[in-house]
Structure 1
Amino acid sequence: MPSTSSVNPPHVEILPNKAALIERSLTVVLSVINDAIAERDRCTLALAGGSTPKPLYEALAQQDLPWQKLYIFWGDERYVPIDHPDSNAGMAKAAWLDQVAIPLGQIFPMPTQAKDPETAAHQYEQTLRAVFPEATETVPQLDLILLGMGDDGHTASLFPHTEALNVRDRLITVGNKDGQPRITFTVPLINRARSVLFLTAGANKQQALSQVFAAEADSEMYPSRLIQPEGELWWLLDSEAGAALNL
């Protein structure tokens, strides 16, 4: 079993291919959305960037959901304008959010127009606090955080051997990728979630996954090991990514 053990045992599934991975992830996401709305009359989600979740977003755009009850955040963002090809928010808006009737006031892209990334991180933390006023002195609890994992073991913009890995007194901080700033959720915010779902595809992920799932390994080198949520932890892998695991 993976070292990233949450309060409950993690759900680890290896799917035959990427299409099956997306189909299964859609089922999980819809279940979380429906359960959250039934229990709390809203669902708060943080989206991931990268190429893997794009077909999931396209599939979600085809669903019939109570869109007015969804609140959308992002787990990390490159420090680029939303219309830039590398923008996580821009990708999700084009693939999903612009196609459905989620109120604009309930979609919260990370700010990338601030004078500096630190200011942007502070602004986004204030945004989260406003949506979760009951968590004034605590860490807000999102219903679902979607994550990917890079072939270096990073997740969100928590990169190996960077200062962001050790931030415990903030919800949002500045990540660093080869000298380029990113805005990112911190480990405590991710680990507070009711559900965390990793979508991982490709043979290039095998080496990092073997370390993330190892009984002992360096979390500074493989930051995905730090993700140990209070709620459910899902790892959905395609067969290429999961080939090296002995589950």
Structure 2
Amino acid sequence: MTVAPPSSEKSVPLVHVYADKAALVAAATDQVIELIRDAIATRGRCSIALSGGSTPKPLYQALAQTELPWDQLYVYWGDERYVPATHPDSNAKMTRDAWLDHVAIPADNIFAVPTDTDSPEISAERYQQSLMGSFNTSSKDELPQFDLMLLGMGDDGHTASLFPHTLALKEFDRWVTVGNKDGQPRITLTSRVINQARHVLFVVAGANKQTALSQVFAPTADSAAYPARLIAPVGELRWLLDLDASQGLPAAIERTVH
């Protein structure tokens, strides 16, 4: 599979390394709060796209204990499993349970992926239409710019639901497409949309991520095999790693160790 390279107008990634997962999550929480407040102070609102998985859950739980201007926060998801909203595997359910149900955020500010449809393709189309309405655009060529895109990375190098050697990697026309993990459909933002974000924040923990990180940060490697390489935003790119994961970084990569 041939995948188009990211834009040449990309940010140099800022890499931060923390002693363990607890320190990583604490730092990520502080940075997310700071970015939310800065966006609201600058633009009067903050649009944040969330990731699923186990790593961000304690971050969301910490946000539930934070005082923020919730009516100015707009919440989206970078990807979602094609399961009912009440299913234990639902990213939206996890986030609601950990965070959103515990703060006074208006229901109209939450844009979950609709999965109660006849097909994942319909879900992807409806989510794209929902995003276009939220960002007040009538053209899919006028890309949304999220203030903050929160991402994780799997040990196979995937991010959002952009999995290795899948058709979603080659979708550059749409905002939202159907991802695929071992035959299980996912709904995901495309790399083209992710790369429009003002801030992209990867939060990655665990020694099992070392091989993928070595390829994501290699001078040359296959983006189809390690899709996180496709993430090269026009805005700021931060990678927050725990010490175990960071052992996979090539020696030449500059990093700040905390």
Specify the TM-score bucket, using the shorter chain as the normaliser. over 0.9
Given that 2:77 and 2:112 are in contact with CA atoms closer than 8 Å, whether structure 1 keeps it comes out as: yes
Give per-residue Cα distances to partners, 1:131-175, cap 9 Å, x unaligned.
111573411000001111000000000000000001010000000
Aligned-partner SS, 1:133: coil
TM-score calculated relative to the size of structure 1: 0.96
Aligned pairs for 1:137-156 (under 5 A) are 137-156=141-160
Aligned twin of 1:100: 103
Misfit runs of 4+, over 4 Å = 3-6
> Which blocks of at least 5 consecutive residues in structure 1 are unaligned?
none
Aligned pairs for 1:89-238 (under 5 A) are 89-134=92-137, 136=139, 137-238=141-242
Aligned twin of 1:75: 78
Aligned-partner SS, 1:174: strand
Please state how far the C-alpha of 1:6 moved relative to its aligned partner.
Answer: 6.2
| Percent of residue pairs identical | 60
Rounded Cα–Cα distance in structure 2 between residues aligned with 1:134 and 1:39: 21
Aligned pairs for 1:12-23 (under 5 A) are 12-23=15-26
Aligned-partner SS, 2:38: helix
> Which blocks of at least 5 consecutive residues in structure 2 are unaligned?
254-258
Aligned twin of 2:256: none
Given that 1:6 and 1:232 are in contact with CA atoms closer than 8 Å, whether structure 2 keeps it comes out as: no
TM-score calculated relative to the size of structure 2: 0.92
Aligned residues: CA RMSD: 1.4
Given that 1:6 and 1:233 are in contact with CA atoms closer than 8 Å, whether structure 2 keeps it comes out as: no
Aligned-partner SS, 2:165: coil
Instruction: Select which of 47, 51, 61 maps to 1:58.
Output: 61
- Give the number of equivalent residue pairs: 245
Rounded Cα–Cα distance in structure 2 between residues aligned with 1:28 and 1:212: 23
Given that 1:6 and 1:231 are in contact with CA atoms closer than 8 Å, whether structure 2 keeps it comes out as: no
